[in-house]
């Protein structure tokens, strides 16, 4: 069972982040997306970044946890919301961009490369991904049962499939100096 399939866990998370509107990552991401692009957000959860992305691109929200799907559909009734597993990426839809904010670190390390391979399959030619990760989560109070993996500029590279190229890597501060980073990947043709 996904940690967030439990309605209490999903509510805990949404309550925890309700006032946390750090826009650092999404503000970086929109530099790589233009208004003509159709962008998939993986792990939209409460929808904070989804709302901002909707101002700049044609955005499709997604999550794999039913409580988040219900919340997103109730809140963003005018946006397309998909139930989507971030590993299998089982959709027939194609996108110009894919975005996630601290979502892929919840995957087992063995599943990260598979996820990125499958994301590349749903990207159009020269499609772009912008993904945020934790480098250091010591400062976070993480609930029991919620998987967190940390990466850095060196360790993340072993998970990047040959179908993608690294365009940019940049550490940033979410709560503490360089506790996070984002990576920009482009699909090779």
Determine how β-strand 180-187 pairs with β-strand 95-101.
unpaired
Instruction: Name every residue whose Cβ is closer than 8 Å to that of residue 153 and which is 6 or more positions away in sequence.
Output: 169, 171, 181
The CA-based angle 133-138-144, given to 5 degrees, is 85
Do 61 and 79 form a contact (C-beta atoms < 8 A)? yes
Tell me the pLDDT tens digit for each residue of 45-76: 989 999 999 999 999 999 999 999 999 999 99
Confidence of residue 168 (pLDDT cuts 50, 70, 90): very high
Listed residue (28, 60, 58) closest to 44, CA to CA: 60
Domain ranges (residues) in the chain: 3-187
Give the strand pairing for 180-187 and 123-134.
antiparallel
pLDDT at residue 139, rounded to an integer: 47
- If one compares 148 and 105, the residue with the highest pLDDT of the two is 105
Average pLDDT (121-145) is: 82
Per-residue pLDDT of 87-103, as tens digits, reads: 999 999 999 999 999 99
Q: Give DSSP secondary structure letters for 128-149.
A: EEEEEEES--TTS-PPTT----
Q: What's the whole-model pTM score?
A: 0.91
User: What is the CATH architecture of 3-187?
Assistant: 3-Layer(aba) Sandwich (3.40)
CB within 8 Å of 109: residues ≥ 6 apart: 149, 159
141 to 75, 102, 144: CA distances (angstroms): 27, 15, 9
Res 55: pLDDT: 94
Count of all residues that appear for the chain in the document: 189
- pLDDT above 90: residue 8: no
pLDDT for res 189: 83
CA distance 100 to 103: 6
Work out the average pLDDT over 1-6: 70
Task: Using the predicted structure, report yes or no on whether residue 11 has a pLDDT greater than 90.
Answer: no
- At residue 24 the predicted structure's pLDDT band, cuts being 50, 70 and 90, is confident
> 86 phi and psi, to 5 degrees?
-70, -15
The C-alpha atoms of residue 179 and residue 173 are separated, in whole angstroms, by 6
């Amino acid at each position: 069972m996904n940690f967030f399939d439990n309605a209490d866990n999903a509510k805990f998370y949404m309550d925890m982040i309700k006032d946390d509107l750090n826009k650092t990552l999404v503000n970086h991401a929109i530099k790589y997306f233009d208004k003509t692009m159709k962008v998939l957000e993986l792990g939209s959860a409460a929808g904070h970044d989804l709302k901002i992305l909707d101002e700049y691109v044609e955005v499709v929200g997604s999550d794999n946890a039913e409580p988040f799907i219900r919340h997103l559909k109730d809140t963003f009734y005018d946006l397309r919301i998909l139930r989507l597993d971030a590993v299998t990426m089982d959709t027939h839809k194609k996108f110009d961009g894919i975005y996630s904010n601290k979502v892929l670190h919840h995957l087992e390390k063995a599943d990260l490369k598979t996820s990125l391979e499958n994301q590349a399959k749903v990207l159009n030619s020269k499609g772009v991904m912008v993904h945020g990760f934790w480098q250091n989560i010591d400062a976070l109070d993480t609930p029991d049962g919620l998987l967190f993996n940390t990466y850095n500029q060196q360790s993340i590279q072993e998970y990047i499939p040959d179908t993608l190229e690294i365009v940019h890597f940049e550490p940033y501060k979410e709560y503490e100096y360089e506790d996070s980073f984002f990576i920009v990947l482009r699909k090779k043709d």
